[in-house]
Structure 1
Amino acid sequence: MSCPICGEDTATRFRPFCSKRCADVDLAKWLNGSYSVPSQREEDLESDVSDGAESQRRPH
């Protein structure tokens, strides 16, 4: 198994990562929003559409 961040072999202690550094890099991606899980809830879809319509009406 290889580390999803750098591709090196994984270490048992940090699996699925090779080191604490790669585990921390992955955590940082989750915390800053680089990773996201799409929602299929109707209320989320409606808010996304209304947010987009408001931003189009605003002058740049």
Structure 2
Amino acid sequence: MSTPKCPICGRPAAPRPGNRAFPFCSDRCKLIDLGKWLGEEYRIPGPRAGDGADAPARPEEREDDEP
């Protein structure tokens, strides 16, 4: 079985429990990855959360409920 590679730098990443930063090779690479998430360099496809695209209309805004 081959040693997994760090997704940030490509160096071999030791498996757990000996490597607390797994799947990264070091705490440095782990922090670089966190910084990319916080800096919005990584994105999950789909509508932005909180834009109201999937939210149902409030009862007072629906036209079909009027008497």
Q: How does the TM-score come out when normalised to structure 2?
A: 0.57
Stretches of structure 1 that go unaligned for 5 or more consecutive residues are 45-60
- Report the structure number with the largest CA radius of gyration: 2
Q: Which residue of 2 aligns with 1:4?
A: 7
More helix by share: 1
Q: How does the TM-score come out when normalised to structure 1?
A: 0.63
Tell me the percent identity: 50
RMSD: 2.2
Secondary structure at the aligned position of 1:5 is classed as coil
Q: Which residue of 1 aligns with 2:60?
A: none
Aligned length: 44
1:37 aligned onto 2:44: yes
